[in-house]
Amino acid sequence: MTDETDLNRAARALSRARAALVLTGAGISAESGIPTFRGAGGLWEGFRAEELATPQAFAADPARVWRWYRWRQAQYGECEPNPGHAVIAQMEGAYERFLLATQNVDGLHHRAGNREMVELHGTITRTRCSRCQRLADWPEPIEEGEDPVPRCGSCEGLMRPHILWFGERYWTGTLERAYEFAHEADVCLVVGTSAQVWAPAQMALLAQQQGAFLIDVNPGATDISFSADVHLMGPAGELLPELWERAKRSPQDP
Ligand code: NAD
Ligand code: ZN
């Protein structure tokens, strides 16, 4: 469990910072009831995410991929942001410069109030035409037996979730914005990411190399937690409120 000294060191770094970068992964939403991909409960009808969230799976069977995403989107709709999301939303209002880069597609950060945000892997609230790239809102639920694959209003192409799939390239602009911010951040708070996805892990280490104090909040150990200045070991929904309370009380001057 996390000790007092680590919490206080992290709180002090947060309170002294002017520019804060927050990176989140599936773990921030675990306490909202959304399973992480690699944790228990990450399976659907015996399939792993890596077998469904790919362009190949969509080309082979778009209806199956859509049934899975419709199921996930319905699950997310029943979940609420947790106290960890709430702290990150408060942080946005507390810093002169702030950026949240999330790998999550569940939309919970947006619902918690964050706007200065890049959704590196897209969002389950939007769809995109696989032919003409037009963006649209998430489709309405369907009845049993109806075709689950929505069509594009302009070109009749198959719509797909506006989500970055395994093997796809990051969209121009999203990664760049986060990397740019990593150069100026004084503090980088990483929450609930296993660091198996290279881009966010690199971003955290780059921020640290450029002078940011690196805090990792994760009940498990990852490549990021090994390098972090402080690893707070425990659930984000409990640790972030505690950390943020201490940061607000912490003296701001050296
Ligand atoms: P991951 O599943 O690989 O790792 C989750 C990490 O969260 C683990 O290191 C785990 O120890 C940690 N964790 C578990 N419970 C936690 C808690 N209560 N507080 C803090 N940390 C906790 O997730 P990832 O690194 O985000 O990578 C998986 C990929 O899957 C990402 O691309 C992401 O987009 C996607 N994904 C998204 C969602 C979502 O939108 N909520 C859910 C599952 C997967
Ligand atoms: Zn189209």
How high is the pLDDT of residue 31? 97
CATH code for the domain of 155: 3.30.1600.10
Q: Which is catalytic among the residues 109, 121, 162, 231?
A: 121
How high is the pLDDT of residue 168? 95
Does residue 235 line the site of ligand 1, with CB under 6 A? yes
- Last residue within a domain, chosen from 163, 183, 215: 163
96 and 13 part of one domain: yes
Distance between CA atoms of 63 and 159, rounded to whole angstroms? 11
156 and 193 part of one domain: no
Distance 127 CA to ligand 2 centre (A): 11
Does residue 217 line the site of ligand 1, with CB under 6 A? yes
189 and 209 part of one domain: yes
How high is the pLDDT of residue 215? 98
Closest alpha carbon to 136 in 146, 125, 147: 125
How high is the pLDDT of residue 165? 95
Low-confidence ranges of the chain (pLDDT < 50): none
63 and 133 part of one domain: yes
How high is the pLDDT of residue 91? 98
Residue 241 inside a domain? The answer is yes
Residue 41 inside a domain? The answer is no
Closest alpha carbon to 128 in 166, 155, 100: 155
CATH code for the domain of 183: 3.40.50.1220
Residue 42 inside a domain? The answer is no
Residue 187, φ and ψ in degrees, nearest 5: -140, 140
Interval 202-215: pLDDT, tens? 999 999 999 999 99
Residue 38 inside a domain? The answer is no
15 and 87 part of one domain: yes
132 and 227 part of one domain: no
Domains: count for the chain = 2
Best residue among 22, 32, 36 to mutate for probing ligand 1's pocket (most ligand atoms within 8 Å of CB) is 36
How high is the pLDDT of residue 252? 64
152 and 179 part of one domain: no
112 and 211 part of one domain: yes
74 and 85 part of one domain: no
Residue indicated by tokens 């919490």:
7
155 and 177 part of one domain: no
Q: Of the ligands numbered here, which is closest to the C-alpha atom of 76?
A: 1
In three-state form (DSSP H/G/I as H, E/B as E, the rest C), the secondary structure along the chain is CCCHHHHHHHHHHHHHCCEEEEEECHHHHHHHCCCCCCCCCCCECCECHHHHCCHHHHHHCHHHHHHHHHHHHHHHHCCCCCHHHHHHHHHHHHCCEEEEEECCCCCHHHHHCCCCEEECCEEEEEEEECCCCCEEECCCCCCCCCCCCCECCCCCCEEEEEECCCCCCCCCCHHHHHHHHHHHCCEEEEECCCCCCHHHHHHHHHHHHCCCEEEEECCCCCHHHHHCCEEECCCHHHHHHHHHHHHHHCCCCC
Residue 194 inside a domain? The answer is yes
How high is the pLDDT of residue 251? 73
Q: Of the ligands numbered here, which is closest to the C-alpha atom of 166?
A: 1
Nearest CA to ligand 1 atom 37: 104
Does residue 236 line the site of ligand 1, with CB under 6 A? yes
Would residue 121 show up in a list of annotated catalytic residues for this protein? Answer: yes
Distance 199 CA to ligand 2 centre (A): 29
Does residue 29 line the site of ligand 1, with CB under 6 A? yes
How high is the pLDDT of residue 101? 97
Distance 65 CA to ligand 2 centre (A): 18
139 and 25 part of one domain: no
Distance between CA atoms of 135 and 142, rounded to whole angstroms? 20
Expressed as residue numbers, the domain containing 54 is 49-78+127-163
Q: Which atom of ligand 1 is nearest to the CA of 194?
A: 9
Residue 44 inside a domain? The answer is no
182 and 226 part of one domain: yes
Nearest CA to ligand 1 atom 1: 194
How high is the pLDDT of residue 250? 84
Two structure tokens written together for 201: 């892990």
Residue 231, φ and ψ in degrees, nearest 5: -110, 110
Residue 254 inside a domain? The answer is no
- Cα 113 to Cα 11, 45, 172, 189: the distances in Å are 22, 33, 25, 18
Residue 132 inside a domain? The answer is yes
How high is the pLDDT of residue 196? 82
